[in-house]
Copies of this chain bind each other. A is one copy, B any other.
Amino acid sequence: MLAERQEKVSSLVCVGLDPLEEKIPECIIGGSPWSRVAFHMNKIVDATADYACMYKPQKAHYEAIPDGQSALQSIINHIHNKYPDIPVFLDCKRGDIDRTQRQYRIAHFEIDGVDGMDFNPYMGKDCMEQLVDKEHLGRAIVGLCYTSNPSARQTQDVKLADGRFYWEFMAETILRWAEELGVVENAGLVMAAAYEVKKGSGEIFSWHLSRCREIVGDKLWLLIPGIGTQGGFVKETVKASFVGFGSIVISSSSAIIFASSGLNFAEAARRETIKLRDLINQYR
C-alpha cells in the first residue's frame, strides 16, 4: 500500500498530524476544542492529500485534549473515507507484556482503525508479536530504533560487549523478530534523519542511517522523523537510506501543520508539503 502510494504521487512525505489546542488557527471558531482540532486537521488533510504518501497522527496530542479521541476518530474516518489509498499510521510507541500489548492491538488496529503503528521494543519480542494479527497481515508494525531526540543518545548509544551500540542490536533484533513472525514485508524501524552533531558546525551526521541499511539491508522500511522543525538534513538523509519506493518515509509535522496560523493555513501547509516533497525527490 505504501510503495504503491509513494509511486502514484511521487512523494515520500508523511504529514504528522500532531495538533495543539493553542496553535489552532484563529479563524477556526466555535465548537469544542476537540471539534476545532478535528476541523483544523481535516482541512490540512484536504490541502495536502495530493502530495502525502501517509498520514501519521500522534496519540498524545489527542489524549491531551478533553474528548480528544473523538477528534482522532473523526480525522481517521475522514482520511479513510475520502482518501482510501493513503495509509494512516498511528504514532503511539506502545510496548508492554503479552496480554496488555494485545489490548493495544485491539485499541489501535480495531477501534481506531489505523493501517499501522509503532512500538517500543524495550520489553522484548512481546511488543511486536502481539501486534501481529494473522488475519490482517498488511498492517505496518514499526519498532523504535534510533530516535531523533538528542537525549536518546544516552540510552541508545550504549556500547555493548561485542562493540556495537545498543540501537544496532535493536535493529538486528527487530529484523529477526519480523522474520520469525512472518511480517518482514510490513515491518519497519524508526530512524532519525541526518543531523548536525554540533549546531552550526556544518558537519552532518548520517552514519546511523547507512549503518542501519548495512544491518537490515532493504528488508525493513524506515520511518524517518527529525526533518523540519527538528532540523534534520534532507539530502544526507535520502542518500543514506533510500533504496526504492516503499523503503523510507520522511515525516514532518509542525513545519507543515503550523506553517501559518492565518486564514491561509491550509494553503501554507500544502506549500510546505510540496516544498519538502520536491526537495526529497531531488536526491532520490
Closest chain-B Cβ to A58's Cβ sits at a distance in Å of 6
- CA A64 to CA B131, docked complex, whole Å: 13
Give 1 or 0 for each of A166-193: 1 = CB within 8 Å of chain B CB: 1001100100000000000000000000
- CA A142 to CA B191, docked complex, whole Å: 26
Of B64, B151, B160, which one neighbours A126 at CB under 8 angstroms? B151
Contact between chains at A60 and B122 (CB < 8 Å): no
Of B64, B93, B150, B166, which one neighbours A103 at CB under 8 angstroms? B64
Q: Say yes or no: is A18 at the interface (Cβ < 8 Å to chain B).
A: yes
- CA A159 to CA B126, docked complex, whole Å: 20
Contact between chains at B100 and A61 (CB < 8 Å): yes
Given contacts A94-B93, A97-B147, A100-B18, are A64 and B122 in contact (CB under 8 A)?
no
Interface size class of chain A, counting residues whose CB lies under 8 Å from the partner chain: 35 or more
Chain A 61-99 residues near chain B, CB threshold 8 A: 61, 63-64, 66, 69, 93-98
For A160, what are the chain B residues with a Cβ–Cβ distance below 8 Å? 158-161
Query: Copies of this chain, how many?
Result: 2
For A126, what are the chain B residues with a Cβ–Cβ distance below 8 Å? 149, 151-152
Given contacts A149-B124, A156-B124, are A166 and B166 in contact (CB under 8 A)?
yes
Q: Say yes or no: is A125 at the interface (Cβ < 8 Å to chain B).
A: yes
For A123, what are the chain B residues with a Cβ–Cβ distance below 8 Å? 93, 120, 144, 147, 149, 151-152, 155-156
Known: A93-B96, A154-B173, A161-B161. 11 other contacts (CB 8 A): A63-B108, A66-B111, A69-B69, A95-B120, A98-B151, A122-B147, A124-B149, A124-B150, A124-B154, A158-B160, A158-B169
**Interface on A for B, CB 8 Å cutoff?**
18, 58, 60-61, 63-64, 66, 69, 93-98, 100-101, 103-104, 106-108, 110-111, 120-126, 129, 144, 147-156, 158-161, 163, 166, 169-170, 173
